[in-house]
């Protein structure tokens, strides 16, 4: 953890990255550019599917809000008459073969984010190779596919790329891993179709997104209480997401007195880790709640959030999908 703290201080604060990260960043950058170039010229194969593929990802490490955005896009596409399905690699799960999730998936097997997305009733398929998962969704009748994460997974050809940007941390020191937080150079943004800024102030050409959660839901019996009614209450807050600070800050902004408990992204909780020897309420994200339901206690609560975006974002996405449909339905010259 000390090394991680040092690196994050260098990436997003006033710290300085260790000397050994600089040559590694140069090497990493060369590999990234070579790999992307090989895919562009066809030297590495990229599988193109007969239905549109939308990739929602980012160019920096850590959580930027990709999963809430994926859920919001799924809901919008359904309202517009599409039959969307979601492809995931299943980070944190043990599943090795491609599988279509049933109504009660196990997060230890398929990962926490696929379970969260599947809870909304949308078809979700998990596979180490995203194209294999995509074929399962096509067989299930989906007519548009969304990849939750995978902007750098070029083996699956995509028709629309959406990059999510952390509005508060942006791109940190703008350097590549491990000297900085970037998976790809900033120039990569010029090639994506749509850019979404989660929180903060959206830059030029970015669509603003806000995550809103106003109702707490008890894990044991589904009781619901307004978050606004909890102002001034002291609570434990647990988060095993890419950027736990965002969750903690949102609770403080709502007026809660927060005791923070951050865990690594996709962490598999055990009951003992959440026993804080008191009966203070314990609040967690929806993503964490899917892993804790089987051993939840009466004072544990989750805070569902919804991504809110301007209509212009959905219109731009719909326009791109309509253009793809026209291209694929037009007769050959």
pTM for the whole structure: 0.92
Please say whether the beta carbons of 333 and 168 come within 8 A: no
Instruction: Give the span between the Cα atoms of 187 and 184, in whole angstroms.
Output: 8
- For the ranges 209-213, 266-270, 328-332, the maximum mean pLDDT occurs at 209-213
At 1 the pLDDT is: 57
Instruction: Give the span between the Cα atoms of 167 and 192, in whole angstroms.
Output: 17
Domain coordinates of the chain in residue numbers?
2-82+143-210+309-325, 214-304
124: β partners: 86
The distance of Cα 330 from the centroid of its chain, to the nearest Å, equals 35
CB neighbour class for 67 (10 Å; exposed up to 12, middle 13-18, buried from 19): buried
- Token couple for 12: 């997003």
209: β partners: 198
266: three-class secondary structure by DSSP = coil
The top-level CATH class assigned to 214-304 is alpha beta
| DSSP state, residue 264 | -
Q: Measure Cα distances from 140 to 122, 189, 280 in Å.
A: 11, 33, 45
Please say whether the beta carbons of 148 and 158 come within 8 A: no
At 331 the pLDDT is: 59
**pLDDT tens string 37-62:** 999 999 999 999 999 999 999 999 87
At 128 the pLDDT is: 87
Instruction: Give the span between the Cα atoms of 45 and 229, in whole angstroms.
Output: 54
Closest CA to 158 of 132, 131, 195: 131
- Report, in angstroms and rounded to the nearest whole number, the Rg of the chain calculated over CA atoms: 20
Q: Kindly state the greatest CA–CA separation across the chain.
A: 72
Instruction: Give the span between the Cα atoms of 73 and 94, in whole angstroms.
Output: 27
**pLDDT tens string 105-162:** 999 899 899 999 999 899 999 998 899 999 999 999 999 999 988 899 999 999 999 9
Please say whether the beta carbons of 311 and 221 come within 8 A: no
Please say whether the beta carbons of 288 and 114 come within 8 A: no
Given 3-state DSSP classes, what are the helix, strand and coil percentages for the chain, each rounded to the nearest 5? 35, 20, 40
At 227 the pLDDT is: 97
């Amino acid at each position: 953890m000390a090394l991680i703290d040092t690196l994050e201080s260098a990436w997003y604060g006033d710290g300085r990255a260790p000397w050994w990260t600089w040559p590694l960043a140069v090497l990493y950058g060369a590999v990234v550019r070579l790999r992307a170039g090989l895919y562009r010229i066809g030297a590495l194969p990229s599988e193109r599917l007969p239905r549109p593929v939308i990739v929602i990802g980012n160019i920096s490490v850590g959580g930027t809000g990709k999963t809430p955005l994926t859920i919001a896009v799924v809901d919008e596409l359904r309202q517009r008459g599409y039959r969307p399905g979601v492809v995931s690699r299943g980070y944190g799960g043990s599943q090795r073969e491609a599988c279509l999730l049933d109504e009660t998936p196990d997060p230890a097997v398929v990962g926490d984010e696929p379970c969260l997305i599947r809870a909304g009733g949308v078809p979700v398929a998990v596979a180490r190779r995203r194209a294999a998962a995509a074929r399962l969704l096509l067989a299930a009748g989906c007519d548009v596919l969304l990849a939750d994460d995978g902007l750098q997974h070029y083996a699956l050809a995509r028709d629309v790329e959406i990059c999510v940007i952390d509005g508060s941390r942006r791109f940190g020191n703008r350097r590549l891993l491990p000297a900085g937080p970037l998976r790809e150079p900033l120039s990569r943004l010029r090639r994506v179709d749509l850019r979404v800024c989660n929180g903060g102030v959206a830059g030029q050409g970015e669509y603003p997104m806000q995550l809103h959660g106003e109702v707490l839901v008890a894990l044991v019996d589904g009781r619901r209480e307004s978050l606004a009614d909890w102002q001034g209450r002291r609570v434990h807050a647990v988060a095993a997401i890419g950027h736990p600070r965002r969750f903690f800050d949102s609770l403080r902004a709502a007026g809660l007195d927060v005791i923070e408990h951050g865990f690594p992204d996709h962490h598999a909780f055990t009951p003992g880790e959440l026993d804080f020897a008191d009966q203070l309420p314990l609040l967690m994200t929806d993503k964490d709640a899917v892993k804790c339901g089987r051993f939840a206690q009466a004072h544990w609560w989750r805070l569902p959030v919804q991504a809110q975006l301007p209509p212009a974002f959905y219109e731009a996405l719909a326009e791109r999908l309509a253009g793809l449909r026209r291209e694929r339905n037009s007769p050959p010259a």
